Amino acid sequence: MTLRRFLALNLLFTTLLFSGCATADPNTQSRTAMLGEIKQEPLGNYYIGRRYYKVDYKFWGYIRKPGESWANAKMVMLNEQGKLAPDRELGKIGSDNGYEYKLYGDFTGETVYEPASNGFYPEFKLRGYELKNVSPAPIFKEQGALDPQRRIIAKPY
């Protein structure tokens, strides 16, 4: 075998070897299923909430209308005068980070300042909730978005 032929075969083998190494995003399947479920959500007088706990911030998480994308969700401050948030009710703040809920309540029309993030967020007055999922499909692209210690405020996509 000539050196030229050897190098050509080696190049072909290497190309074939590495072309099979592309890995699919492991979240793609669960995200696709989640998007299908969102489209099937019945309209009604409720919201879908995703708890987003950060040690340094006091917002509650993201809330969206049924049937709408997480990209349209709003980060909210929770008004708990009528009903305590699920984690506060259990006395375990942040224990439900990443959980998904069916929320009953309304936006009050007020905007609340959260000093640690220097942000203004709509206020949501909670009347009740139902736990939907403790490990739902991811809604953030950023790695470590759900890490309570990281001082990032990821936006859903």
Alpha-carbon torsion (105, 107, 111, 115), positive or negative: positive
The reply to whether the predicted model has a pTM over 0.85 is no
Lowest mean pLDDT among 16-30, 44-58, 108-122, 141-155: 16-30
Going by their DSSP bridges, the two strands 119-133 and 100-114 should be labelled as antiparallel
What local confidence, expressed as pLDDT, does residue 131 receive? Answer: 98
Work out the percent of the chain whose per-residue pLDDT is above 70: 83
- Residues of the chain with pLDDT > 90, as a percent, come to 76
Predicted pLDDT of residue 155: 96
Among residues 71, 80, 74, which one has the least CA distance to residue 62?
74
9-57: pLDDT as tens digits = 555 555 544 444 444 555 678 888 888 899 999 999 999 999 999 999 9
